[in-house]
Amino acid sequence: MLDDFVTFGRSGLRVSRYALGAFNFGGDQRWSLDVEAAQRLIARYRELGGNFLDAANSYGGGAAETILGDYLAASSGSRDRLVIASKFGSNTRPGDPNAGGGGRKAILQACEDSLRRLRTDRIDLYWMHLWDPLTPMEETLRALDDLVRAGKILHIGFSNTPAWKISEARWLAEFRNTAPVVGLQLQYSLLERSIEIEHVPMALAYGLGIAAWSPLKSGALSGRYRRDDVANHDTEGRAAFLARALDEKAEAVLAAVAGIADRRGISFAQVALAWIQAQPALAVILIGAHDVMQLEENAAAANVVLSSEDLAELDEISRPVIPYPGDFARRAHGAVSGGTRINGIEPTPGGGSPSQAKA
């Protein structure tokens, strides 16, 4: 089911299109899983054909990496067959200004700590969890390049970072001959499509793979929650997330998802995930699950292919508002093309520049 692999970005790293996220592994949050529950998910994910496990140094206060490390140590031969990703950047020692961010000291410490918890000698894909505006990008890239040259990490990715900063990093790495950024991990779903404005065009232009986190928008797209029925919103500590997600537009999106789910005889979550996997810039979808049944339901979306009519309906109802100058660039296509169709792109009616009006 999950043995459909892709090369991630401009790299030779082969990963499952559906990765298993470890955000809820360990810790003491209401959504946290204990060791046994987390390892059942890993085992079932592998049985389904998946090979990509994604963690972070901050998940569960470090417990997520420890759970993965213990699994790798106990499962003979699993380390070489699995792609292990983790993240740096989140501060893990309150009061210590050098225990987080993108500085050399913080990166080297975080990597050594993650390697120890994961009980491995290398991390296959090391994400910058969030942008550190206090550290020059040159320092971050050079520290990461040193780790690549030492064999402690194999590939570099960025998460939750502005497009302009990713673009800067891409060109700095090329001109300074350091290890490149191969992909991005960004929030993306039918209820969060903002990355389409800057990040998706940039990723397509530079050959960067995109891994989508929170593809069900904290469960809002699962069909289990409604805006006016808050009784069960906090069953897993999700109330704060759902309050932001379930607005008036979300209700319209959920109505469209419900119609497609009913016609196809599949779940809300499978419709939402199938829409994401049809998007051309998406390489990987990060799924999280509270139990094996939920994992199997989400994984089954890998076999769902929505019709062009279904995709068009979902695309229209969930279309994001594009701010200036992105909206200007799209509307101005006719001013560039002279009103003609180029590369399959039709000019927007009335989208030309007023300066081109006929005398």
CATH assignment at residue 161: 3.20.20.100
Domain that holds residue 144: 5-222+268-305
Identity at 38, one-letter amino acid code = A
Residue 323: pLDDT band by 50, 70, 90 thresholds? confident
The count of domains in the chain is 1
Average pLDDT of 109-113?
98
Which position has the higher pLDDT, 10 or 357?
A: 10
Q: Is residue 242 pLDDT above 70, yes or no?
A: no
Please list the residues that pair with 19 across neighbouring strands: 286
pLDDT of residue 219: 85
Which position has the higher pLDDT, 125 or 328?
A: 125
Query: Is 145 inside a domain boundary?
Result: yes
Query: Is 336 inside a domain boundary?
Result: no
Query: Is 345 inside a domain boundary?
Result: no
* Inter-residue contact 122 to 152 (CB < 8 Å): yes
Which position has the higher pLDDT, 93 or 332?
A: 93
Cα Rg, the chain, nearest whole Å: 21
Q: Is residue 236 pLDDT above 70, yes or no?
A: no
State pLDDT tens for residues 36-78.
Answer: 999 999 999 999 999 999 999 999 999 999 999 999 999 999 9
Residue 327: pLDDT band by 50, 70, 90 thresholds? confident
For all residues of the chain together, what is the average pLDDT?
92
Q: Is residue 312 pLDDT above 90, yes or no?
A: yes
Query: Is 331 inside a domain boundary?
Result: no
**Angle of helix 104-118 versus helix 137-149 axis, rounded to 10:** 40
d(CA 35, CA 23): 13
Q: Is residue 334 pLDDT above 80, yes or no?
A: no
Residue 250: pLDDT band by 50, 70, 90 thresholds? confident
Query: Is 275 inside a domain boundary?
Result: yes
pLDDT of residue 340: 87
Q: How far is CA 71 from the centre of its chain?
A: 24
Q: Is the dihedral of CA 23, 27, 33, 37 positive or negative?
A: positive
Q: 153-159 and 52-54 as β-strands: parallel, antiparallel, unpaired?
A: unpaired
Q: Is residue 310 pLDDT above 70, yes or no?
A: yes
Average pLDDT of 134-150?
98
Q: Which of 19, 16, 20, 21 is nearest to 4 (CA)?
A: 16
Query: Is 258 inside a domain boundary?
Result: no
pLDDT of residue 339: 81
pLDDT of residue 319: 94
Which position has the higher pLDDT, 137 or 355?
A: 137
Q: 52-54 and 83-88 as β-strands: parallel, antiparallel, unpaired?
A: parallel
d(CA 181, CA 168): 11
What are the tokens at 283?
Answer: 């390489």
Q: Is residue 356 pLDDT above 60, yes or no?
A: no
d(CA 251, CA 232): 17
Average pLDDT of 268-296?
96
pLDDT of residue 114: 98
d(CA 255, CA 244): 18
Query: Is 209 inside a domain boundary?
Result: yes
Q: Which of 54, 80, 48 is nearest to 67 (CA)?
A: 54
What are the tokens at 54?
Answer: 């994604």
Average pLDDT of 155-168?
98
Helices (H), 99-196: 104-118, 137-149, 163-175
Query: Is 129 inside a domain boundary?
Result: yes
Residue 330: pLDDT band by 50, 70, 90 thresholds? confident
**Angle of helix 163-175 versus helix 137-149 axis, rounded to 10:** 60
Q: Catalytic: 59? A: yes
What is the pTM for the complete model shown?
0.91
d(CA 122, CA 111): 9
Average pLDDT of 226-245?
62
Q: Is residue 134 pLDDT above 90, yes or no?
A: yes
pLDDT of residue 155: 98
Which one of the listed residues 59, 126, 188, 225 is annotated catalytic? 59
